[in-house]
């Protein structure tokens, strides 16, 4: 018997697949129909004037269907991965954002989860912005990449272990672009476990991220090197990972249709968490304007036992932790309207070693089909 949730999911996938097929196989006059379809996203732009002020709706809708088969058990589910809705506005030197996170897998009365973006940004000049209140605090390769633009359905397990997966914290930050190709973002944030605008229940963390565009050479046409540093005053009520310091060095290189993203990161454990080291290699191939292939290798190792956690869906089979993790992934992205509407499919094999032999050993395959949309 197909549940109401799965029936709704299949209906959405079917409708979006039909749109995709029409875009792919329409007559030669397809370009005008593509334009009309893409223009549908402009409906979210409610107001804009010649001075650049605007008021627009914002949000994202994401869907996952996942099957996992491991030596330790099986798992399969179809769920609404994310639904967020709110608005963004600009008036003069100021920008405003307010967005909520909702759970579409439950009843309407229980659907509200938390605030995500709830902030005011002030443009000090054309290159520098000061932002207050609740905002994204990204670091590591995937941690500072919006879920709207990930090339895999889930973030890599290095980010899952080191990055603060709550993502949105109350604080103040400044970011700036310099003339020599350097960029930086720095800020101080409450590590409060609350999902709203709160700073009372925990402590704080400080973030410094910098990046530099690399000069073109024989190996890459475009390149960027990024370094992230986090100092975390760890607290038992904090909504962060239990690392007092984190360092991440990531890069993005591109040569024609080929790309290579990398991440090497280290965390100093605290409050019972072991020190952790990890690396990610992710080559990509953009075969056409709409089709992108991606592969990924992830390695994690903790100094002590039980310092590594499994990734999403794998941990629905094994909730324990281990001390060494490896994953290989291969998949594709089909861009219907760029990243604003895309379909993803990916297969991964993950294995975790558990030297303590206390419930963290894992080895299994997983397949995920996903839809990602934002406006």
Q: What is the pLDDT of residue 195?
A: 83
> Which of these, 123, 248, 139, 251, lies nearest to 186 by C-alpha position?
139
Q: What is the pLDDT of residue 201?
A: 84
- Write the pLDDT tens digit of every residue in 256-305: 999 999 999 999 999 999 999 999 999 999 999 999 999 999 999 999 99
Give the Cα-Cα-Cα angle 9, 153, 189 (nearest 5 degrees): 110
133: pLDDT strictly greater than 90: yes
CA distances to 182, 205, 301, 312, 360 from 307, in Å: 34, 21, 8, 16, 10
Domains of the chain from N-terminus onward: 4-374 (2.40.160.10)
Task: Compute, in degrees rounded to 10, the torsion defined by CA atoms 329, 353, 265, 242.
Answer: 120
Distance CA(184)–CA(212), nearest Å, equals 9
Distance CA(337)–CA(372), nearest Å, equals 11
pLDDT class for 180, splitting at 50, 70, 90? confident
Q: What is the pLDDT of residue 352?
A: 98
Q: Please give the model's pTM, rounded to 2 decimal places.
A: 0.90
Q: What is the pLDDT of residue 251?
A: 98
């Amino acid at each position: 018997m197909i549940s109401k949730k799965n029936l709704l999911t299949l209906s959405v996938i079917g409708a979006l697949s039909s749109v995709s097929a029409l875009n792919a196989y329409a007559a030669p006059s397809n370009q005008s129909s593509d334009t009309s379809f893409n223009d549908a996203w402009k409906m979210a732009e409610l107001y804009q004037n010649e001075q650049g002020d605007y008021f627009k709706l914002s949000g994202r809708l994401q869907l996952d269907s996942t099957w996992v088969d491991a030596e330790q058990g099986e798992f399969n589910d179809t769920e609404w991965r994310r639904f967020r809705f709110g608005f963004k506005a600009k008036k003069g030197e100021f920008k405003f954002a307010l967005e909520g996170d909702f759970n579409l897998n439950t009843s309407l009365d229980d659907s509200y989860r938390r605030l995500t973006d709830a902030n005011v940004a002030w443009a000090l000049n054309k290159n520098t912005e000061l932002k207050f209140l609740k905002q994204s605090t990204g670091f590591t390769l995937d941690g500072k990449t919006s879920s709207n633009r990930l090339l895999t359905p889930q973030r890599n397990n290095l980010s899952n272990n080191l990055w603060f997966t709550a993502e949105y914290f109350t604080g103040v930050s400044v970011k700036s672009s310099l003339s020599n190709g350097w960029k930086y973002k720095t800020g101080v944030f409450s590590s409060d476990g609350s999902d709203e605008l709160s700073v009372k229940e925990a402590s704080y963390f400080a973030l410094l991220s910098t990046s530099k565009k690399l000069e073109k050479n024989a190996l890459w046409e475009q390149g960027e090197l990024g370094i992230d540093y986090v100092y975390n005053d760890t607290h038992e009520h904090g909504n962060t990972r239990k690392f007092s310091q984190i360092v991440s060095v990531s890069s993005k290189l591109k040569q024609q249709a080929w790309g290579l993203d990398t991440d090497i990161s280290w965390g100093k454990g605290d409050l019972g968490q072991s020190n952790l080291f990890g690396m990610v290699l992710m080559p990509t191939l953009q075969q056409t304007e709409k089709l992108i292939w991606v592969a990924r290798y992830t390695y994690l190792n903790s100094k002590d036992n039980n310092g590594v956690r499994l990734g999403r869906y794998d941990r629905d089979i094994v909730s324990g932790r281990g001390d060494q993790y490896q994953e290989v992934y291969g998949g594709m992205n089909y861009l219907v309207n760029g990243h604003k509407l895309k379909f993803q499919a990916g297969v991964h094999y993950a294995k975790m070693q558990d030297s303590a032999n206390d419930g963290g050993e894992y080895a299994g395959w997983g397949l995920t089909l996903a839809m990602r949309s934002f406006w």
